[in-house]
C-alpha cells in the first residue's frame, strides 16, 4: 500500500461551479482518494489558507519548435526533440500537467515522458499540421520545389489534396502515433496571408473527420482564423477550432450547434496587442464575446512559443479578461479542457478517483492574474514536482 499524502486545511476549487470551499485532499499513488473535512494521511502538507486547483491543461502548444522556428535548416535533427526537455519541465513547474501538442512533437517525445526519462506533462500528439497544397507547412521554393526541413519519418508528409488524400494523410499520422489530427483551414497570422481563405473543401474536411473517427474515435483540431473556414470545419464535424480570430455570428452558431469547441489561443493577439496585425486583437476579443453569447464551449490553449513557454499562465488572464471571468478561465483550463480531450473521466477536477494532478496556491482567491506568484506546489500523477 502506497503512502497517503494529506493536503490539509486548504480550500478546493469546484471548477464547474467556480466556488471554493474548505476541504482536505488525500492522494494515494496517482489518484485523489478522498476529499472532505478532517481527513488523515501518512504525510501531511499544510495548505491552510491556500487554494487547491486541478492540474492545468494547455490544449494548443508546441513543445518542440522553439529552436526549429529560429533556424529550421541549420540544426542537427536531435535539436528538435531535445528542445522539448526544458519546455516540458517549465510547463510542469507552472502547473501544466497535460498538453495537446499542435504539431512538432513526435511519438519519441511522448515516450520519453511516459518512461520517465524526462519530466513533463502528459502529451497528446498531432505530429504535423495537415493541409492542402500551398497551406501552412507546404514549404516550397521555386528553385527546389517541395522542401521538408523535418525530413523525418516520425513526422509524416502532411500535404494532401482531395477526400482520398485526406483519408491517406490521417492514416499516415495515425500510423506514426498521432492522438489528434491537426488540420489547417486558413493561412497564418504570422505570415499574414490567407487568414480569410478557405483552404479545405467540405468533402476534404468531412473525409478528415470521418477517417479520424474510424481510427479509435480520434478527432480533428482545425487551425482557422477566418469565419467561413471555421464555419465549414464546424459543420463538417471538427472537434475544435483553434485561434478563431475573426469569427462572426454565423460561425459561432455553427460551432455551438455542432458541439465544436473553441480554443482561442488569445496569447497570440492579447499578450502584445500593439504588435498583433492591425485590428486582430480587437477582432479576437469580439470572437470571444460572440462565442460566449452563443454558448460555444471554450478550452484553454496558448499556441506557445508564439510567446515564451514561461508565459503559459498569461492565457488564463486573457480568457478571464475576454469575458470568461476568473472562474470561467480556470474551468476552460481544467475540466472543460479535459472534456475536449476526452479525458474528463480521468482528470480535470479535484474529485475522488481522479488523477492526482493538482496545484496548491497561497491564498484562496480565485484570481487568474496572481497564480504564478502564489504557486507553492504542483503534483503530477501524485508526485510533487521539484520547484
Q: Given the complex with Zn ion, which of 103 and 160 has the nearer CB atom?
A: 103
For cell 501524485, the residue is 382
Q: Given the complex with Zn ion, which of 7 and 238 has the nearer CB atom?
A: 238
Q: Is 65 in the site for Zn ion (CB under 5 A)?
A: no
| Cis amide leading into 253 (omega within 30) | no
Helical H runs in the chain? 66-70, 79-82, 84-93, 107-114, 162-175, 202-214, 227-235, 249-258, 267-270, 280-294, 314-319, 325-332, 335-340, 371-374
Q: Given the complex with Zn ion, which of 221 and 366 has the nearer CB atom?
A: 221
Binding mask 245-264 for Zn ion (x = CB under 5 A): --------------------
Q: Given the complex with Zn ion, which of 35 and 102 has the nearer CB atom?
A: 102
Taking the complex as a whole, the smallest distance from the CB of residue 16 to Zn ion amounts, in Å, to: 28
Which positions from 333 through 362 interact with Zn ion, judged by CB under 5 A? none
Task: Report angle CA 37, 39, 45 to the nearest 5 degrees.
Answer: 105
Q: Are 29 and 382 in contact (CB under 8 A)?
A: yes
Taking the complex as a whole, the smallest distance from the CB of residue 102 to Zn ion amounts, in Å, to: 4
Taking the complex as a whole, the smallest distance from the CB of residue 65 to Zn ion amounts, in Å, to: 9
Taking the complex as a whole, the smallest distance from the CB of residue 219 to Zn ion amounts, in Å, to: 16
Q: Is 330 in the site for Zn ion (CB under 5 A)?
A: no
Q: Is 222 in the site for Zn ion (CB under 5 A)?
A: no
Mapping DSSP onto H, E and C, the string for 254-272 reads HHHHHCCEEECCCHHHHCC
Total residues binding Zn ion (CB under 5 A): 2
Q: Are 299 and 59 in contact (CB under 8 A)?
A: yes
Q: Given the complex with Zn ion, which of 206 and 269 has the nearer CB atom?
A: 269
Taking the complex as a whole, the smallest distance from the CB of residue 343 to Zn ion amounts, in Å, to: 20
Binding mask 83-122 for Zn ion (x = CB under 5 A): -------------------x--------------------
Which positions from 272 through 311 interact with Zn ion, judged by CB under 5 A? 303
Q: Given the complex with Zn ion, which of 10 and 104 has the nearer CB atom?
A: 104
Q: Given the complex with Zn ion, which of 199 and 303 has the nearer CB atom?
A: 303
Residue 146, phi then psi, degrees to nearest 5: -60, 145
Give bridge partners of residue 13 from the DSSP assignment.
Answer: 20
Taking the complex as a whole, the smallest distance from the CB of residue 79 to Zn ion amounts, in Å, to: 19
Residue 220, phi then psi, degrees to nearest 5: -115, 125
CA dist 295 and 274 (Å) reads: 29
| Strand 358-361, strand 51-54: pairing | antiparallel
Where along the sequence are the contacts to Zn ion (CB under 5 A)?
Answer: 102, 303
Amino acid at each position: 500500500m502506497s503512502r497517503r499524502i494529506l493536503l490539509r486545511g486548504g480550500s478546493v476549487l469546484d471548477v464547474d461551479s467556480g466556488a471554493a470551499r474548505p476541504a482536505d485532499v488525500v492522494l494515494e499513488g496517482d489518484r485523489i482518494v478522498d476529499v472532505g473535512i478532517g481527513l488523515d494521511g501518512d504525510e501531511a502538507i499544510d495548505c491552510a489558507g491556500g487554494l487547491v486547483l486541478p492540474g492545468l491543461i494547455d490544449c494548443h502548444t508546441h513543445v518542440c519548435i522553439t529552436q526549429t522556428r529560429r533556424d529550421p535548416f541549420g540544426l542537427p535533427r536531435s535539436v528538435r526533440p531535445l528542445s522539448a526537455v526544458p519546455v516540458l519541465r517549465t510547463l510542469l513547474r507552472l502547473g501544466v500537467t497535460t498538453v495537446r501538442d499542435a504539431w512538432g512533437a513526435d511519438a519519441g517525445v511522448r515516450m520519453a515522458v511516459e518512461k520517465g526519462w524526462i519530466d513533463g506533462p502528459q502529451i497528446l500528439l498531432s505530429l504535423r499540421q495537415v493541409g492542402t497544397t500551398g497551406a501552412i507547412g507546404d514549404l516550397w521554393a521555386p528553385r527546389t520545389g517541395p522542401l521538408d526541413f523535418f525530413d523525418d519519418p516520425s513526422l509524416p508528409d502532411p500535404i494532401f489534396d482531395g477526400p482520398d488524400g485526406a483519408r491517406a494523410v490521417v492514416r499516415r499520422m495515425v500510423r506514426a502515433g498521432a492522438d489528434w489530427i491537426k488540420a489547417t483551414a486558413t493561412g497564418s497570422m504570422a505570415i499574414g496571408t490567407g487568414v480569410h481563405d478557405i483552404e479545405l473543401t467540405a468533402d476534404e474536411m468531412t473525409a478528415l473527420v470521418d477517417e479520424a473517427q474510424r481510427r479509435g474515435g480520434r478527432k480533428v483540431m482545425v487551425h482557422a482564423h477566418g469565419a467561413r473556414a471555421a464555419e465549414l470545419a464546424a459543420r463538417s464535424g471538427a472537434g475544435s477550432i483553434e485561434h478563431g480570430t475573426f469569427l462572426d455570428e454565423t460561425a459561432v452558431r455553427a460551432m455551438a450547434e455542432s458541439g465544436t469547441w473553441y480554443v482561442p489561443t488569445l496569447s497570440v493577439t492579447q499578450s502584445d496587442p500593439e504588435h498583433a496585425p492591425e485590428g486582430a486583437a480587437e477582432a479576437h476579443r469580439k470572437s470571444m464575446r460572440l462565442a460566449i453569447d452563443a454558448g460555444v464551449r471554450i478550452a484553454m490553449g496558448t499556441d506557445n512559443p508564439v510567446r515564451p513557454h514561461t508565459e503559459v499562465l498569461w492565457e488564463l488572464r486573457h480568457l478571464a479578461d475576454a469575458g470568461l471571468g476568473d472562474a470561467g478561465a480556470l474551468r476552460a483550463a481544467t475540466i472543460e479542457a479535459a472534456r475536449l480531450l476526452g479525458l474528463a473521466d480521468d482528470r480535470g477536477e479535484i474529485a475522488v478517483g481522479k488523477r492526482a494532478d493538482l496545484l496548491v496556491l497561497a491564498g484562496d482567491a480565485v484570481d487568474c492574474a496572481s497564480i504564478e506568484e502564489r504557486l507553492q506546489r504542483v503534483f503530477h500523477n501524485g508526485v510533487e514536482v521539484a520547484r
